[in-house]
Chains A and B, each alone.
Chain A
Amino acid sequence: MNPREEKVKIITEEFIENDEDADMERQKKNPKVRRQPRKKQPPTAVRKEMVSEKSHLGNQQEPVQEEPKTCLLSMTARRGPQSLPPIPSTSRTGFAEFSMRGRMREKLQAARSKAESALLQEIPTPWPRRLRSPSKKELETEFGTEPGKEVESTQQEIDSQSHSRVKFHDSARKIKPKPQVPPGFPSAEEAYNFFTFNFDPEPEESEKKPKARHREGTNLEQEEGEEEPPAHGGGKETDEEELLNGDDAEDFLLGLDHMADDFVAVRPADYESIHDRLQMEREMLFIPSRQTVPTYKKLPENVQPRFLEDEGLYTGVRPEVSRTNQNIMENRLLVQDPERRWFGDDGRILALPNPIKPFPSRLPVETQELSIKAELETMYKKAVKYVHSSQHVIRSGDPPGNFQLDIDISGLLFTHHPCFSREHVLAAKLAQLYDQYLARHQRNKAKFLTEKLQALRNAVQTGLDPEKPHQSLDTIQKTINDYKSEIRQTRKLRDAEQEKDRTLLKTIIKVWKEMKSLREFQRFTNTPLKLVLRKEKGDQKADEEAYEAEIQVEISELLEEHTEEYTQKMEEYRTSLQQWKAWRKAQRAKKKKRKQAAEEHSYDETEEPHPEEDLVKPIPPEPTDRAVIEQEVRERATQSRRRPGEPMLVPELSLAGSITPNNQCPRAEVLRREDVKKRSLYLKVLFNNKEVSRTVTRPLGADFRVHFGQIFNLQIVNWPESLALQVYETIGHSGPTLLAEVFLPVPETTVVAGRAPIEEVEFSSNQHVTLDHEGVGSGVPFSFEADGSNQLILMTSGKVSHSVAWAIGENGIPLIPPLSQQNIGFRSALKRADAISSIGTSGLTDMKKLAKWAAESKLDPNDPNNAPLMQLISVATSGESYVPDFFRLEQLQQEFNFVSDQELSRSKRFRLLLLRSQEVPEFRNYKQIPVYDREIMEKVFQDYEKRLRDRNVIETKEHIDTHRAMVAKYLQQVRESVINRFLIAKQHFLLADMIVEEEVPNISILGLSLFKLAEQKRPLRPRRKGRKKVTAQNLSDGDIKLLVNIVRAYDIPVRKPAVSKFQQPSRSSRMFSEKHAASPSTHSPNHNADYPLGQVSVRPFVEVSFQRTVCHTTTAEGPNPSWNEELELPFRAPNGDYSTASLQSVKDVVFINIFDEVLHDVLEDDRERGSGIHTRIERHWLGCVKIPFSTIYFQARIDGTFKIDIPPVLLGYSKEQNMILERGFDSVRNLSEGSYITLFITIEPQLVPGESVQEKFESQEDEKLLQASEKFQAECAFKFPNRQCLTTVIDINGKTVFITRYLKPLNPPEELLNVYPNNLQATAELVARYVSLIPFLPDTVSFAGICDLWSTSDQFLDLLAGDEEEHAVLLCNYFLSLGKKAWLVMGNAIPEGPTAYVLTWEQGHYLIWNPCSGHFYGQFDTFCPLKNVGCLIGPDNIWFNIQRYDSPLRINFDVTKPKLWKSFFSRSLPYPGLSSVQPEELIYQRSDKAAAAELQDRIEKILKEKIMDWRPRHLTRWNRYCTSTLRHFLPLLEKSQGEDVEDDHRAELLKQLGDYRFSGFPLHMPYSEVKPLIDAVYSTGVHNIDVPNVEFALAVYIHPYPKNVLSVWIYVASLIRNR
């Protein structure tokens, strides 16, 4: 950068800063930037620098000089020249606080600045000078403002400055005034001028300068003296510059620009000392002190701190803040906010109470296990019809209610109040007693009873009258007795009543006396209560007479009673006396006897005690004494009755008394009265527990009565649930306190406004109040006695007088909620029944009819009893007849509904979208749902609807046999439910699903990778590298291919030349000739059986069909062909869905069919033989291998030799010749029968099979066992990760079950046992065959990728479908029951992969059974499909294979050797005796032969139709004769299990169908549904023959086994008539 430019920049910067008069820091920074260029300044600038230096030196000296005086001064001095003249005020504020001296200076400066501003105005404009030579033009613009300084700048300067002209213009202007600034100080310019100039004509300056000089002269001179030498020595200038302080440097630079030879504004460099800076920092910065702030500072003046807490107000706990922080904050706030808004009354910072609770507010849960269980236990509670609820919710059918309830609160009266004085208490008591008295008086029970008594007595009198003879004596006596007892009762009652009256009167008088004495004692009266006893004097004589008569009557009655009693007692006495006498006599007689006996016999007997007790002699009852009775009666009478002549006392309570005025009362009483005055009350009206209104607040009267007299009209919508009044009391200005709550009864519907009586409701409160005046308080004991005895505790109580009624509307209809009528079920039901009976049930739904009925019956619409009906009718007739008969849970849902549900389902588009989002299989991958309904074809839904329809319909067409159809449905349902269950689990992603992350290498991997470094780059024996696995998601159609590599086959059946050993040589020879004709072109004519080597016995090729794609190999020759061909078949996932779940459920099967290619010469005419060859290629099916795709998918690759399924009878082919052809094959193979094919199948690219859901299932197993099994599995997996180890499995209910529970001897069907009663081996084979006939259904297909479900044997037999495990378990159980030693073998087999086989121990050797095919193999059979063995499972233990090898050929099956087999239950963990999950016994129904026969016919029909369908272009003829022959033959095959019948069969056939060329074979399979049968027939390709005269034969035979296990035989054949 050009140094000049920079300078310019800096200068402008500085001016800005100066204007701002702040930001010292930036200034400080500037010098650093500046310094560099300064140093680099070209030599031309030296002169200027020298000058400028001088100038700044001059300026700088000032602060230096002044510093000793005061820092402040220096600042003003420095600032003075720098800052713009018109703003001295800015600086002033800064200094204001400092010192007097400062102020003085300030004044001085103010004066100066005035002068300056005056000067500024005088400055002449630069314009006149513009007319000077152009070369100087620029200069003029810059410096022209300087009137007295004509500048002669050098040319270079002009150039360099030209671009910064404008800025300089400004700066110069600003600078210019400076020299004139402080009259008292020399400016930079002045200083310079002082030394350099001749003081020419400038009058002002010259005037000033001397002034300045005078003032500072001496100092300056000194300084200059010192500084001058360096100023002269030009070389040192840079050094000196560096000494300069930053601020000065700017000035200095400024100076540079201005002054060339003729200097304009030379400014001194400012120096800012550390003190200045500190000073300035002090201005800007503030360090709050940590000292405690005295309280008075924080409060407004003359305010005393007020501590709310001490005043009894709750303040809460302030949050904990450390003292220092608090102090700092307070200090800070004091400085920042002088208004002290942040401080509270107590002089502390305002703070909310700490909201954090010190302890968790969650209720502690009882941690005892038992109690938890108890808590979690569910209890059955019978559903209760909740009638109430319907009352509160007005149904939508009701009109929006404007019902009205009028609550009239007239007043409140306290029967006790804390402010009661003792007198009040007594007064209240008196009033209460008086009320009681009045009530009693009104009823006058005593009088009533007296009269009743009188009447009864009269009745008795009349009853005794002899004038009424017509009544029998008995009845009279009885009634009289009744009367008498009645009299007795009544008398007693009357006496009691009379006594009560009397005591009441007495108490009233007593209380009144007490009150009077109290009034006297306290010498003032509080209550106006006054009791007057009115005496009613009666006729003394009559009174006495009546009294006496009454007594007499009573006495006589009593006497009568007593005599009655006496006679009764006498009676009793007499009888008992007689008894006693008799006893006495007997006693005496005994004694006598005894005496005699004693005399006669021995002496000692006399001393025998009497064995019998003495009867006490009865005492005769005393006769009643009249005097005594009279005494009693009189006593009682005096007690309870008014004495004769005594005046009748009638108490009268009046409020006529006068209350002592306040001034005559003692202080305590005055206080009490004042307190009472302070109190006021109001009531809140609560409706359904919500406050709806409240009364005005009324003061409590001296008589403790409050009058409200307010009526509240409650507009209500709901039927009132509760009505309550709350009594609130306010004392003085404090808040109201709830005294009590009173519940008001909801009025009857008949109670309407105007008719409601005022009722009183009592309330009481349990508050405890102690008062410090006369008031007795509430809930505290007090006493009237001086000694404090006889304490009373009274609670605040009182009465509210109110009335509640329903309002009446304008038209006179009571505004009662309609539901009120439906109070309680039966009443309304009765009413309804009324209506129903009169209009019939249909009328109930027909509102119009109902209304009609109502009109006809002249129902009173105002009768509340009819209200519900009227309501209903009015609603119905008003048009809104929609009365919902449901309760809507989410009322607002409808508002938010996008469209109505009907519309949603009507719109095809929405429906499609909905179904897709529900992931309905048919629509899951539906793409591009059209915008318009019309674009959606109806047929889109057809399949789906059909499926929905069929869900519950058992369709027999497909399955034919109903049981199986049901099973299929059941399976479907289980599948759906299981899938739904796992759908959620499947959405639980694991990290591995989302993120690819390298596993942490362990030592061995690290070691291996280290070894790898040393590995050869190109090893001699390269190892196969694993292919990259592809996750399924980003695949599309055509990406996946199925590779089938067909390597070779062994022991393919060879064509059997027609041999002459059969009976019909002629026919056979014809056949033979055909054969001969077939191969002449390719073979030498020696077609004799004796030339096996020369003849091409078979020309097999392999056809692989998968998903309707068919590929085939080339044709090879011979029974042991080698193709070594790779076939590529495309794979297409269902619906284009390549997700793992979808791939797992692919049910397609790879069919590998082996055919024999046969060439037929079709030339009819021998003459043409020379010129052309006409042959027809026929292919004869030899056998097939089926591999399900799911197996390939899970296995990733299938590599091995498979046994070819060859039909038991293959006409025209035999295997015998193979023996002859045998060349160098090892003898082991000879053991096996059948043909084999070696295959390698894989999927390209390799797919990652979905992992089964790793979820813990609930289990009923012992936790310990589960842990042990986990441990066992982990150990095994650690040692041999590839070997299958199974300890627990999941049953059909999704529960974890220990595996050995599945094994238990189970009885095979009786039928099978009876076939070979003596041959165990044959029985075993038969049983195995039976098991294999149960159809196979892999779990992975049904429960895609979820898990392996094990069903028990009975479930398996019921379902009639299962995979290897179920078959193996059943077979093993059968073997166990046959007494064999049998185990379940878990291992890998081809092609199934991980599977279950059964191992049995026969004499001396082991047999391995394939439960799905029923075949068995010896342990050393090479072609045994079981390739490795993971573990053996017995009924009571599990053994894991820990041998080095796992091939059955190389291992020892002796499980007793712990070195070879690791057992689960051992000495450390003994077998706990697990109960089996299997049933006790399997029950087999005998199979229904008729049903089987029917099924057989139907299958045959279906298959025939199918074959005709497959041959659309040809005529399909059926040979009935052949069919019947075949049908006869099939049962034989079943009996022999397809073995050793070929020859007989062939002979038979030949015999019957001599003139046909015949090709066909029986197929055998277990029956599950029709489709597999059709597929199997189709795969043989029998229908493919297109010879015109071909005929077909098809026979089906179904052999039923117990439990509906069906063995199906299909014989399919094509016949060509030989000519």
Chain B
Amino acid sequence: MMTASPSVFLLMVNGQVESAQFPEYDDLFCKYCFVYGQDWVPTAGLEEGISQITSKSQDVRQALVWNLPIDVTFKSTNPYGWPQIVLSVYGPDVFGNDVVRGYGAVHVPFSPGRHKRTIPMFVPESTSILQKFTSWFMGRRPEYTDPKVVAQGEGREVTRVRSQGFVTLLFNVVTKDMRKLGYDTGPADTQGVSGPSPPQGFPQ
């Protein structure tokens, strides 16, 4: 269906939340969700997901592997507000309370293809040492009111965070009609690949 001028472009993302390195923690699970702008609408797949609890591997790598698949398709009219994936990792503390172990976010890669991303994760810090102690003791660590704030810049200046751990993600990105709408995100060398039909129907 080669419609002359599509009115939306599509972005298909699949991949997986592969693994994580949290050297100090074990038995973690992660949640992901997408944050996107007003011009974006998910058309297929799951916007949010939660993984199984995984334990560390026994070897030196001590990797936490989830292999939680991501598969979502967005449609949009505007690259502004390009989707970001927001990850939050949780796990039990010494008393068995589930506490947050890391937040992180990354934009879905712009260019089609296979991309591997390793996101550094961070958690909000307690405001004082006493708070820290009580939160440790009560198992109620500070958390973001909404994990989606890690994908936004607003209000971050009031928070203090500590970095811990990394999560590795794999994205396979497919786009449709982006070039037709005048957005060229592919790498320079693939421009010739578009083949015999030159991009047409740019918005005038």
Interface residues of A (CB under 8 A from B): 913, 916, 925-933, 935, 987, 989-991, 993-998, 1000-1001, 1031, 1033-1034
Contact = CB atoms under 8 A, between A and B. Distances in A.
B25 to A, nearest CB: 20
B7 A997 contact: no
Nearest to B76: A928
A935 B7 contact: yes
Given A994-B149, A1001-B134, 6 more contacts: A928-B41, A993-B145, A994-B124, A997-B127, A998-B131, A1000-B130
Contact of A995 (B124, B154, B181): B124
22 contacts: A913-B78, A928-B8, A929-B38, A931-B77, A932-B5, A932-B203, A989-B157, A993-B145, A993-B158, A994-B145, A994-B149, A994-B158, A994-B159, A995-B143, A995-B144, A995-B145, A997-B142, A998-B134, A998-B135, A1000-B128, A1000-B130, A1033-B146
Interface string B159-174: 1000000000000000
Contact of B144 (A925, A927, A932, A996): A996
Contacts of B145: 993-996, 1031
B77 A998 contact: no
A1005 to B, nearest CB: 10
Contact of B78 (A929, A935, A987, A1000): A929
Which 5 pairs show the lowest CB-CB distances between chains A and B?
Answer: A989-B155, A997-B142, A998-B140, A931-B77, A995-B142
B113 to A, nearest CB: 24
Interface string B65-80: 0000000000011101
A121 B187 CA distance: 60
Query: In terms of DSSP, what is the predominant structure of the interface of chain B?
Result: loop
Indicate the member of B77, B124, B127 with the most A CB atoms within 10 Å. Answer: B77
Nearest to A935: B7
A998 B158 contact: no
Nearest to A923: B38
A933 B157 CA distance: 38
A998 B131 CA distance: 8
Contact of B38 (A916, A993, A1034): A916
A1340 B85 CA distance: 37
Contacts of A916: 38
Given A930-B7, A997-B131, A998-B138, A987 B154 contact: yes
B39 interface: yes
A994 B127 CA distance: 12
B158 A997 contact: no
B131 A1000 contact: yes
B41 A996 contact: no
Nearest to A926: B38
Interface residues of B, number: 35
Nearest to B135: A998
Contacts of A993: 145, 155, 158
A1031 B149 CA distance: 14
A1031 B124 contact: no
Interface in B154-204: 154-159, 181, 203
Contact of A931 (B140, B142, B203): B203
B181 A991 contact: no
B138 to A, nearest CB: 6
A1447 to B, nearest CB: 37
B126 interface: yes
A416 B166 CA distance: 80
B154 A930 contact: no
A929 B138 contact: no
Nearest to B38: A927
Given A994-B156, A995-B145, A929 B203 contact: no
Nearest to B181: A931
A997 B78 contact: no
Contacts of B143: 995-997
B156 to A, nearest CB: 7
A994 B155 contact: yes
A913 B40 CA distance: 14
A926 B154 CA distance: 20
A927 B7 CA distance: 14
A997 B39 contact: no
A929 B38 CA distance: 8
Contacts of B181: 931
Nearest to B133: A1000
A994 B159 CA distance: 7
Interface string B48-63: 0000000000000000
B77 A929 contact: yes
Given A927-B38, A931-B7, A935-B7, A991 B158 contact: yes
Contact of A927 (B41, B149, B155, B159): B41
Nearest to A924: B38
A987 B124 CA distance: 20
A852 B159 CA distance: 72
A1001 B41 CA distance: 44
Given A927-B38, A929-B77, A995-B142, A1000 B158 contact: no
A929 B131 contact: no
Given A991-B127, A1031-B145, A1034-B146, A931 B159 contact: no
B145 to A, nearest CB: 5
A1135 to B, nearest CB: 12
B134 A989 contact: no
A913 B38 CA distance: 11
B29 to A, nearest CB: 19
A989 B80 CA distance: 24
A933 B203 CA distance: 9
A995 B127 CA distance: 10
Contacts of A995: 124, 142-145, 159
Contacts of A1033: 146
Contacts of A1000: 128, 130-131, 134
A933 B39 CA distance: 15
Contacts of A987: 154-155
Contacts of A997: 124, 126-127, 131, 135, 140, 142-143
Interface string B110-152: 0000000000000010111011001100101011111001000
